A = this chain, B = another copy of it.
Amino acid sequence: MLIVQKYGGTSVADIERIKAVAERVAKTVEAGNQVVVVVSAMAGETDKLIELAHQVNPSPGEREMDLLLSSGERVTSALTAMAIQALGYKAIALTGRQMGIVTDSVHTKAKIERITGERAFQALKDGYVVVVAGFQGVTEEGEDVTTLGRGGSDLTAVAIAWALNADLCEIYTDVEGVFTTDPNIVPEARKLQRISYEEMLELASSGAKVLQTRSVELAMKYNVPLVVRSSFNDKPGTYVCKEDKEMEKVMVSGVAYDKNQVKITILKVPDRPGIAARLFKQIADANIVVDMIVQNISSDGQSTDISFTVPKTDRERAVEIAQRVSSELGAGGVVVDENIAKVSIVGVGMKTHSGVAAKMFETLAEHGINIMMISTSEIKVSCVINDKYTELAVRALHEAFNLKEG
């Protein structure tokens, strides 16, 4: 088999962990497999580099930011290849460019356009373990380094698994798989043996940090078989795969939460067609991803309040755009609420079970938790609440949908 193994920051946090990764790779080779390893930066490195950048410049150039941030994964890829070499195996470290990971040129948030992978193909044929620096690529002309955004190494791994037509993509992390919810909040949270791409996608985009959203999208699109498992032990982990009959019997598979958003409201927007389009086009042009949007008729009946949520990191730029649009439209100004959390329930079973959303609202109401925004998809219901109720809401929903039983 050709296996892609991705090791996250905690799995390569220090020399001992890197040696443990090398041992696992060696074992996988000994079992008769070809292995491509994708590594993140050592835990804390990327944050350290971001901190340094902000110390020299409050708004550093994004091109230079990518050059800076890409160095962490390069270091780990070199060290990991050396550690594998030390065990007597042939290993070659490849940067994003050397792997042929071509992206668009949206620095710090680049999208992979294609992977040529010629050197990797050749190296695998020659009996090498290929160790790829995650999180990075190059622009079309091959000149500038780009990075793929937070969690980008997951995306690198899935994209490589797809490009090389790998049999399996293993995502190694510091948890044992995908849980029904965050075990730090609910100790009875249960590890799922299997979960569908769709559910995983909804969980990831609802704040579950185990896999990066775009990597799940890509895996789903190209049907790349994924396993999420721990690099600290040999337990089997959680398979992420196509939905099957068994999964549909379960109403809700997991509860996720996200404290990393802010709610921005433009007050008293004149109620004319095209206003929302104007606002959200400008926000999209700034490469800010809006999560939830709610529009209410204002008390005066002549205007509406438009609320939306964006990641906290984009707060400053999003507010700036909202304020500009507000004054252009003669609206009533912009209000920002930082103390929000999004709580979500996810499950393919929702397609066939009715009343799931109602049960969620009831459960929150029973605990005196006010719902500020609601959004739903075929297999997900999300509610924005005051963030002080996050843990309470997660526990209550985990209990109400009986998730510890499985």
Closest to A95 in B: B67
- Please tell me if the beta carbons of A49 and B64 are within 8 angstroms of each other in the complex: no
Does A15 reach chain B (CB closer than 8 Å)? yes
Does A398 reach chain B (CB closer than 8 Å)? no
- Please tell me if the beta carbons of B67 and A53 are within 8 angstroms of each other in the complex: no
- Please tell me if the beta carbons of B95 and A78 are within 8 angstroms of each other in the complex: no
Pick the contact of A82 from B57, B74, B79 — CB < 8 Å? B57
Does A273 reach chain B (CB closer than 8 Å)? no
- Please tell me if the beta carbons of A83 and B56 are within 8 angstroms of each other in the complex: yes
Q: Of A85-93, A151-159, A220-228, A254-262, which stretch is located at the interface?
A: A85-93
Pick the contact of A79 from B18, B63, B68, B81 — CB < 8 Å? B68
How many A residues have CB within 8 A of the partner chain? 39
- Please tell me if the beta carbons of A64 and B78 are within 8 angstroms of each other in the complex: yes
Which chain B residues border A81 with CB–CB below 8 Å?
61, 64
CB distance from A12 to the nearest CB of B (A): 11
Residues 117 to 157 of chain A near chain B (Cβ within 8 Å):
119, 143-145
Q: Given A83-B56, A119-B143: A75 and B61 within 8 A (CB)?
A: no
Does A326 reach chain B (CB closer than 8 Å)? no
A52, A63, A67, A85: which has the most chain B beta carbons within 10 Å? A67
Does A19 reach chain B (CB closer than 8 Å)? yes
Does A323 reach chain B (CB closer than 8 Å)? no
Pick the contact of A75 from B68, B78, B145 — CB < 8 Å? B68
A93 CA to B98 CA in the complex, in Å? Answer: 20
Pick the contact of A86 from B56, B78, B119 — CB < 8 Å? B56
Q: Hey, what's the 0/1 contact readout for A73-112 against B, CB within 8 Å counting as 1?
A: 0110111011101100001110100100000000000000
A18, A22, A83, A119: which has the most chain B beta carbons within 10 Å? A83
- Please tell me if the beta carbons of B67 and A83 are within 8 angstroms of each other in the complex: no
Does A65 reach chain B (CB closer than 8 Å)? yes
- Please tell me if the beta carbons of B53 and A79 are within 8 angstroms of each other in the complex: yes
- Please tell me if the beta carbons of B93 and A52 are within 8 angstroms of each other in the complex: no
Instruction: State the oligomeric state as a number of copies.
Output: 2
* A interface secondary structure, majority: helix
CB distance from A361 to the nearest CB of B (A): 48
Closest to A58 in B: B86
Does A60 reach chain B (CB closer than 8 Å)? yes
Does A55 reach chain B (CB closer than 8 Å)? yes
- Please tell me if the beta carbons of A67 and B77 are within 8 angstroms of each other in the complex: yes
Does A71 reach chain B (CB closer than 8 Å)? yes
CB distance from A339 to the nearest CB of B (A): 32
Closest to A76 in B: B68
CB distance from A338 to the nearest CB of B (A): 27
Q: Given A68-B74, A78-B68: A56 and B18 within 8 A (CB)?
A: yes
Which chain B residues border A98 with CB–CB below 8 Å?
143-144
Closest to A93 in B: B64
Which chain B residues border A61 with CB–CB below 8 Å?
81-82, 85, 91
Q: List 10 interface pairs A-B (beta carbons < 8 Å), by A numbering.
A: A15-B52, A19-B56, A22-B56, A53-B79, A56-B86, A64-B82, A64-B92, A67-B93, A71-B75, A98-B143
Known A65-B82, A68-B79; 18 more pairs at CB < 8 Å: A15-B55, A15-B56, A52-B79, A56-B82, A56-B83, A57-B83, A57-B86, A60-B82, A61-B85, A64-B85, A64-B91, A67-B77, A67-B93, A67-B95, A68-B74, A68-B82, A70-B74, A71-B71
The 7 closest A-B pairs by CB, nearest first: A68-B78, A57-B86, A60-B82, A57-B82, A71-B71, A56-B83, A67-B78
